[in-house]
Amino acid sequence: MLINDAFAQAANSAAQTADPTLMSFLPMVGILVIFYFLLIRPQTKRAKEQKEMQAGLQKGDEIVISGGELGRVVSAGDSYITMEIADGVEIVVLKSSVQTLLPKGTLKSVETGKSNRMLKNNKQKSGEPRQEEQKNKETENSEAEPAAGSTNPDNEKN
């Protein structure tokens, strides 16, 4: 008699827990709302801004493409643009590869290693050797010619 009562109670409690209620779905709904506001909405907003920027490209804009090249837009079509990356050097790229629209005048203010090399080459061409080369030559000469009267163990073996 006690055993039957125990089964009846267990069956009754199992039936109550199997009923889905609104409270059991509430945590899942909360997670979806958090994902929407923290992940999905900002991503779609950023994608929309990127498409508007790419559609609004025009001649003279300074841009950075996905490969990291900086340049100025020479001409813009529906899906391709021609970009000047140096004087007389133009490349054709997809509009979708444009990552950033730079403010006007940025390309002139960007420091590159090219300007430093050009300055060094101009000094060298004008007859002024670079200071680093002079130091290297001095150290090579001092190592190549040991002081008179000193014995070098390598020379004694030969």
Question: Using one digit for the tens of pLDDT, what is the confidence trace for 76-97?
Answer: 999 999 999 999 999 999 999 9
Whether the CB-CB separation of 70 and 85 falls below 8 Å is answered with yes
Question: Using one digit for the tens of pLDDT, what is the confidence trace for 46-79?
Answer: 999 999 999 999 999 999 999 999 999 999 999 9
pTM of this structure: 0.54
The rounded percent of the chain whose pLDDT value lies above 70 is 58
Closest by CA position to 94, among listed 84, 83, 79: 79
**Please, which residues have CB within 8 angstroms of residue 140's CB and are 6 or more apart in sequence?**
none
Residue 16 confidence (pLDDT) above 60: no
Tell the burial category of 114 from Cβ atoms under 10 Å away from its Cβ (0-12, 13-18, 19+).
exposed
CA distance 129 to 121: 9
Closest by CA position to 54, among listed 101, 90, 102: 101
Residue with the larger pLDDT of the pair 121 and 54: 54
Q: Which range (32-46, 62-76, 118-132) has the least confidence?
A: 118-132
